[in-house]
Every structure is written in structure tokens, then in C-alpha cells.
């Protein structure tokens, strides 16, 4: 349950940014005929199961996610949004994603996010909420699978797009730099981590976020002393 809550918290953090920032990204819309299509009907069922207040039977969520997954045949923009949600459902049903022995599920989740990423690139969806979510979640899953070097590519792209959309005085841009620094730490590359943490600190100072600045400075001093 602890790991499920962790996944949901991360999802909320990436999805629930300030309104003034969210307005700079557009959402992917579904065509009117989508609701009556087979995929639209099954996707609606999946969302209903996921949004159930007292969801206990995760098997039903996984089975429905599998059904929707099997219907994803094309590379239309809206499919990237669906894939992200299907991947989230698989992560929730895995219970303990970081330590599970079910490597097939881990690889399936990573493959889903990579498919969503490719659809985003093909359809030029870089300025959508869906594409940013894909970048973040794909990087996180790769890091949880000890593929930190592969994840770094997506962390850096997330930062570049955040800086472009929100500028250098934004929590979103500062967070992106923090995640890059953390990635380098996981690779035991302290100097690179410190470089990005300092870039993050520059933005946090502009935002007058003293608490995080002081916390990060303590972390940097600890890294330098090791």
C-alpha cells in the first residue's frame, strides 16, 4: 500500500501544478466519435474502475487495462494519453513496482511509456500535458529499473521543455533540475549532481524558497565532504 501511495503522490505532483503554468500547455482532446468506439467504451470502463472510491480488487483493474492495451493499434495523438493512463494502472496494480520479481510487468510499463513518447514525437505533442507526463513517468520507471543513464535523456528533455514553457523562475523548471541532479547521484556522479543542484538553487532563490535552498545547500556540502 505504501508503494501505491508513492506512485499516486508522484502522479498528483506532475499533474497538479499551478493553474497559471498548466495554462501554458494544452490538453489532447478526443474526437466526438471516440466515445462510441470499442476503444472509447473500454477506456471509459477502465477509468470507472480506477476512480472507484473503494477499489479493492486490483485484478479487475489489471484485466481492464490489459483489454485497453490490446486495442491500442495506431499512433493517433489521443492514444498517447490513453497509454499513459494504462501504464499508471499497471503501476498501481503491481503493488511493489520497485522490488517486484515480475520483470515482464516492469518492461511492459516502460514499453508503454516509450510508445507514448514516440507518438508524442511523431505528432509534435511536446507542448501538451500528456507529453510532459510521459517524459516524467518514463524517466522515473527507468530509474526504478536501474537504467539511470537511459532515464537521463528524458530528464534532460523534460528540463529543456520546462524551461522553454515556464522560464527560469518556475517551480516546474527548478524541479526538473532537481530530478537531473538526483539522477546523477544515482550514477555516483557527485560533481554533475552538484552542478545541477546549484542551477536549481539559483531558481529557488528567485522564488524566495528559502527552506528548499537551505536543504539543498546542506546536501551539497555533504556531497563535497565525502
Q: Please state, as a whole number, how many other Cβ atoms lie within 10 Å of the Cβ of residue 124.
A: 10
Mean pLDDT of 193-219: 96
- Separation CA 105–CA 141 (nearest Å): 11
Average pLDDT, the chain: 87
The predicted pLDDT at position 96 comes to 43
Q: What percent of the chain has pLDDT over 90?
A: 71
Grid cell of 171 as nine digits: 517551480
Task: Tell whether the model's pLDDT for residue 126 goes beyond 80.
Answer: yes
Mean pLDDT of 56-61: 77
Task: Tell whether the model's pLDDT for residue 53 goes beyond 60.
Answer: no
Mean pLDDT of 154-177: 95
The predicted pLDDT at position 98 comes to 47
The predicted pLDDT at position 127 comes to 94
pLDDT-based confidence at residue 108 (cuts at 50, 70, 90): confident
172: phi then psi, degrees, rounded to nearest 5: -60, -45
The predicted pLDDT at position 124 comes to 95
Mean pLDDT of 117-140: 96
Task: Tell whether the model's pLDDT for residue 201 goes beyond 50.
Answer: yes
More reliable by pLDDT, 2 or 212: 212
Closest CA to 85 of 126, 120, 137, 37: 137
Angle (deg, nearest 10), helices 77-93 and 38-50: 40
The predicted pLDDT at position 19 comes to 46
pLDDT-based confidence at residue 166 (cuts at 50, 70, 90): very high
Name residue, grid cell 529543456: 160
Closest CA to 186 of 136, 134, 140, 123: 140
- 45 in Cβ contact with 148 (< 8 Å): no
Closest CA to 203 of 170, 160, 158: 170
Q: What percent of the chain has pLDDT over 70?
A: 83
Task: Tell whether the model's pLDDT for residue 174 goes beyond 70.
Answer: yes
Task: Tell whether the model's pLDDT for residue 184 goes beyond 90.
Answer: yes
pLDDT-based confidence at residue 15 (cuts at 50, 70, 90): low
What's the distance, CA 216 to chain centroid? 23
Mean pLDDT of 91-105: 59
Q: What share of the chain is helix, strand, coil (3-state, %, to 5)?
A: 75, 0, 25
Amino acid at each position: 500500500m505504501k508503494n501505491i501511495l508513492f506512485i499516486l503522490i508522484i502522479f498528483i505532483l506532475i499533474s497538479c501544478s499551478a493553474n497559471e503554468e498548466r495554462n501554458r500547455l494544452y490538453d489532447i482532446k478526443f474526437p466526438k466519435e471516440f466515445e462510441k468506439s470499442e476503444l472509447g467504451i473500454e477506456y471509459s470502463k477502465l477509468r470507472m474502475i480506477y476512480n472507484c472510491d473503494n477499489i479493492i480488487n486490483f485484478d479487475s483493474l489489471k484485466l481492464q487495462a490489459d483489454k485497453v492495451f490490446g486495442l491500442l493499434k495506431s499512433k493517433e495523438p489521443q492514444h498517447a494519453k490513453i497509454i499513459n493512463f494504462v501504464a499508471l494502472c499497471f503501476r498501481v496494480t503491481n503493488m511493489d513496482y520497485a522490488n517486484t520479481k515480475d520483470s515482464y510487468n516492469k518492461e511492459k510499463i516502460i514499453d508503454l511509456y516509450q510508445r507514448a513518447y514516440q507518438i508524442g514525437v511523431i505528432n509534435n505533442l511536446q507542448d501538451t500535458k500528456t507529453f510532459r507526463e510521459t517524459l516524467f513517468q518514463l524517466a522515473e520507471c527507468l530509474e526504478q529499473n536501474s537504467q539511470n543513464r537511459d532515464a537521463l535523456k528524458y530528464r534532460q528533455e523534460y528540463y529543456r521543455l520546462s524551461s522553454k514553457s515556464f522560464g527560469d523562475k518556475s517551480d516546474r523548471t527548478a524541479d526538473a533540475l532537481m530530478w537531473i541532479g538526483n539522477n546523477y547521484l544515482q550514477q555516483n556522479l557527485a560533481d554533475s549532481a552538484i552542478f545541477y543542484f546549484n542551477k536549481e538553487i539559483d531558481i529557488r532563490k528567485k522564488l524566495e524558497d528559502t527552506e528548499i535552498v537551505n536543504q539543498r545547500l546542506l546536501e551539497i556540502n555533504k556531497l563535497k565532504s565525502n
